[in-house]
Amino acid sequence: MKFVVASLALVLVHSIACTAQGASSAPEVKKPIAADAVASVPASADQDLTSRPAETLAGVYKIGPGDLLNITVWKETALTGPFLVRPDGMISVPLLGDVQASSATPSQLAGDLEGRLKRFIQSPNVTVQISQVHSKVIYLLGEVTRKGPIDMAPDMTLLQAISSAGGLTDYANTKKIYILRNDLGKQVKIPANYKEALKGNSSFNLALQPGDTIVVP
């Protein structure tokens, strides 16, 4: 009798061990990723770059006299079209008359126009774009193909300005190019390493400011 009981106990222990081993060796079943979890994954940096230029221009660029604006009022063709910023910084808008545009960003001006148009239009939707930039000017002197002032494009760099002037002449001393800049009423001289800028080193391809003078000996 004792032998039978011992045998049954051994069988029971072996059965439990086999069951535990089978459970531990079973393949792990991965839960499917929820749709909302996929949607919450942030976009890559490359995807964000596609809209950055437009956002930068609308949020940072300051409108100035001489700039040509393209203003669109949704479903209002009479209010849509090109608008030239006058020397006094104003634009003439139908229904509104003169509106201050100078020193505002495109997005700020759009918001101002929407607020003013609410008196005449229900829920106006206004978009302001910079069509042509003429208020920001830089100057080039010395050994460049075309000397004198040029209109400054948004975020213009040293290389872009020299290219807009037709490039350097054969007599240009690329080692001694410099920028003259008005800094709080004082004129400062900023050396420019032209050859390093050409190699793609962005730290030497200096960002320009309105009123800068590029001198090419």
Tens of pLDDT along the chain (217 residues) come to 444 444 444 444 444 444 444 444 444 444 433 333 323 233 333 333 223 343 344 457 889 999 999 999 999 999 999 999 999 999 999 999 999 999 999 999 999 999 999 999 999 999 999 998 888 899 999 999 999 999 988 789 999 999 999 999 999 999 999 999 998 889 999 999 898 899 888 888 999 998 999 999 9
How confident is the model at residue 201, as a pLDDT? 84
Strands 137-142 and 213-216: parallel
Angle at 17 between CA 15 and CA 18, to 5 degrees: 65
- CA-CA distances (angstroms) from residue 110 to 54, 58, 80, 175? 15, 10, 12, 45
CB atoms within 10 A of CB 205: 18
The ranges assigned to domains in the chain are 56-132, 137-216
Name the token pair of 73: 């009022």
Residue 84, classed as helix, strand or coil, is strand
Give the pLDDT confidence score for residue 47 in this predicted structure. Answer: 30
Contacts of 204 (CB under 8 A, 6+ apart): 192, 193, 194, 196, 197
pLDDT at 145: 96
The pTM assigned to this predicted structure is 0.56
Integer Cα distance of 128 and 191 in angstroms: 37
CATH number of 56-132: 3.30.1950.10
In Å, how far are 83, 156, 160, 198 from 205, measured between CA atoms? Answer: 33, 10, 9, 8
Q: What is the CATH number of domain 137-216?
A: 3.10.560.10
